[in-house]
């Protein structure tokens, strides 16, 4: 990233300085060092990295197959494989280079108590922020079971809020009736930011075996196929969150600068990149430069000036759009 771009791409997110609006998404980049295996890739190209979902105890995760390409995207069902929060804090965080980017823990659990326990462990570390994963579709307990119920979401957020003073970002599920209402409840309970959205639940079938391809039968759909859904959800959450100055990481199918700009215009202050890394591990560089070019072309001096600048047609809210 050149110095001119760096000035333009700077973002403040929940009080954290990001060198770029790009956030690498939990579950796509392991525990922060994995993509640095690729020559030419640098963690300093991105504003923040969300670490793999972490629970109280280590988890083996789901049986293979765990990933499968689908039209315009992919299904995954990893099942929160992780070595447990204590191990992450004691053995992984000390090896990360915090001068390169911000690192965000992704806190997961089966019970409210587990979310709190994991949050406390990370609170007592040098992690930059906590992302609350109440939307993982690939575990039987916790995850989306909490995130799809506004009452439960509010309970988890309130309990975790009381356990940390670090920035708290709540990752919302698209698999629910009213994401805006859920967002409102999470704000009341003390969230500092949102990540919108997690994956959509889906399935792939092997017609010869007449069996699901994924070991867990179902999984989360990501990639360009879900981008329109993610954009609408980002817009809907922004309608609620902007009144409270709560920022959003918009995510779902971002593969290039134009996609990222759509999310920013819809209301995202930062933009998540996940599946696109699997297509092109060096994609962040071109997203950064594409965003910077757009800002220059539109004579904008910061990303903040572009956030939520969507101008809706007439008086119809996108929330009311109906196909009937």
Partner 1 sequence: MSNESKPHRGTIHVESAKILSHERFPGDQFVLRVAAPECAAKALPGSFVHLRTDPMLRMRRPLSIMRVSATEGWVDMLYKVVGEGTRLLSARQEGETLSMMGPIGKPFVAHPERPRALLLGGGVGIPPMVFLAEHLRRTGGFDPLVLMGSEVPFPFRARPSEIIVPGVPDGVIAAMPLMEDWNIASRLASLQGYPGVFEGYITDLARAWLKALSEEQRTQVEIFACGPHPMLAATAMLAREFSLPCQVSLEEFMACAVGGCAGCVVEVQEDNGPAMRRVCVDGPVFDASRVFV
Residues labelled catalytic? 136
Q: Does 151 bind partner 1 (CB under 8 A)?
A: no
Site for partner 1 in 279-318 (CB under 8 A): 279-282
Q: What mask of x and - would describe binding to partner 1 in positions 37 to 76, judged by CB under 8 A?
A: xxxx-----------x-------xx-xxxxxxx----x-x
Distance CA 268, CA 264 (A): 4
Residue among 85 and 157 whose Cβ is closer to partner 1:
85
Q: Does 171 bind partner 1 (CB under 8 A)?
A: no
Q: Does 208 bind partner 1 (CB under 8 A)?
A: no
Q: How many chain residues are in contact with partner 1, going by CB under 8 A?
A: 38
Is residue 155 packed enough to be buried (19+ CB in 10 Å), middle (13-18) or exposed (0-12)? middle
Residue among 67 and 203 whose Cβ is closer to partner 1:
67
Residue 53 pairs in a beta bridge with 106
Nearest distance, CB of residue 217 and partner 1, angstroms: 15
Distance CA 162, CA 113 (A): 12
Binder of partner 1 out of 35, 122, 263, 294 (CB under 8 A): 35
Binder of partner 1 out of 12, 33, 123, 285 (CB under 8 A): 33
Site for partner 1 in 104-123 (CB under 8 A): none
Instruction: Name the residue with tokens 């004579």.
Output: 299
Nearest distance, CB of residue 138 and partner 1, angstroms: 11
Structure tokens at 324: 């009937």
Q: Does 227 bind partner 1 (CB under 8 A)?
A: no
Determine contact, residues 10/4, Cβ cutoff 8 Å: no
Under DSSP, the state recorded for 63 is P
Residue among 58 and 175 whose Cβ is closer to partner 1:
58
Query: What number of other Cβ atoms are within 10 A of residue 305's Cβ?
Result: 12
Q: Does 139 bind partner 1 (CB under 8 A)?
A: no
Structure tokens at 35: 């993509």
Under DSSP, the state recorded for 166 is S
Alpha helix ranges (H) inside 94-243: 112-123, 144-147, 150-161, 179-188, 227-241
H-helix or E-strand containing 257? helix 257-266
Instruction: Name the residue with tokens 């859904």.
Output: 229
Residue among 179 and 276 whose Cβ is closer to partner 1:
276
Binder of partner 1 out of 6, 12, 81, 289 (CB under 8 A): 81
Structure tokens at 222: 């990501």
Structure tokens at 47: 């504003």
Q: Would the CA dihedral through 112, 101, 126, 158 be positive or negative?
A: negative
Binder of partner 1 out of 9, 22, 23, 28 (CB under 8 A): 28
Q: Does 99 bind partner 1 (CB under 8 A)?
A: yes
Q: Does 162 bind partner 1 (CB under 8 A)?
A: no
Q: Does 27 bind partner 1 (CB under 8 A)?
A: yes
Binding residues for partner 1 (CB under 8 A):
27-30, 33-40, 52, 60-61, 63-69, 74, 76, 78, 81, 95, 97, 99, 223-224, 275, 277-282
């Amino acid at each position: 990233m050149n110095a001119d771009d760096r000035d333009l791409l700077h973002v403040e997110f929940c009080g954290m300085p990001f060198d770029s609006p790009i956030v690498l998404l939990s579950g796509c980049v392991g525990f922060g060092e994995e993509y640095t295996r690729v020559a030419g890739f640098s963690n300093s190209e991105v504003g923040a990295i969300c670490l793999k979902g972490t629970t109280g105890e280590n988890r083996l995760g789901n049986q293979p197959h765990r990933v499968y390409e689908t039209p315009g995207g992919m299904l995954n069902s990893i099942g929160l494989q992780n070595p447990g929060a204590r191990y992450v804090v004691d053995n992984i965080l000390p090896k990360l280079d915090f001068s390169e980017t911000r690192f965000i823990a992704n806190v997961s659990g089966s019970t409210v108590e587990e979310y709190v326990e994991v949050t406390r462990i990370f609170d007592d570390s040098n992690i930059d922020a906590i992302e609350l994963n109440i939307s993982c579709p690939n575990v039987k307990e916790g995850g989306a079971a909490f995130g799809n119920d506004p009452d439960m979401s509010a309970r988890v957020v309130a309990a975790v809020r009381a356990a940390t003073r670090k920035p708290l970002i709540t990752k919302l599920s698209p698999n629910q009736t009213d994401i805006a209402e859920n967002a409102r409840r999470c704000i009341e309970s003390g969230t500092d930011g949102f990540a919108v959205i997690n994956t959509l639940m889906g399935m792939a079938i092997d017609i010869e075996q007449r069996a699901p391809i994924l070991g867990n039968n179902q999984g989360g759909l990501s990639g360009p196929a879900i981008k329109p859904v993610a954009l609408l959800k980002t817009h809907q959450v922004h309608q609620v969150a902007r009144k409270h100055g709560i920022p959003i990481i918009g995510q779902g199918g971002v593969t290039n600068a134009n996609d990222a700009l759509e999310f920013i215009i819809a209301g995202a202050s930062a933009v998540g990149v996940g599946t696109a890394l699997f297509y092109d591990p060096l994609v962040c560089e071109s997203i950064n430069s594409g965003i910077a070019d757009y800002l220059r072309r539109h004579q904008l001096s910061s990303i903040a000036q572009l956030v939520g600048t969507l101008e809706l047609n007439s008086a119809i809210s996108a929330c009311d759009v109906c196909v009937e």
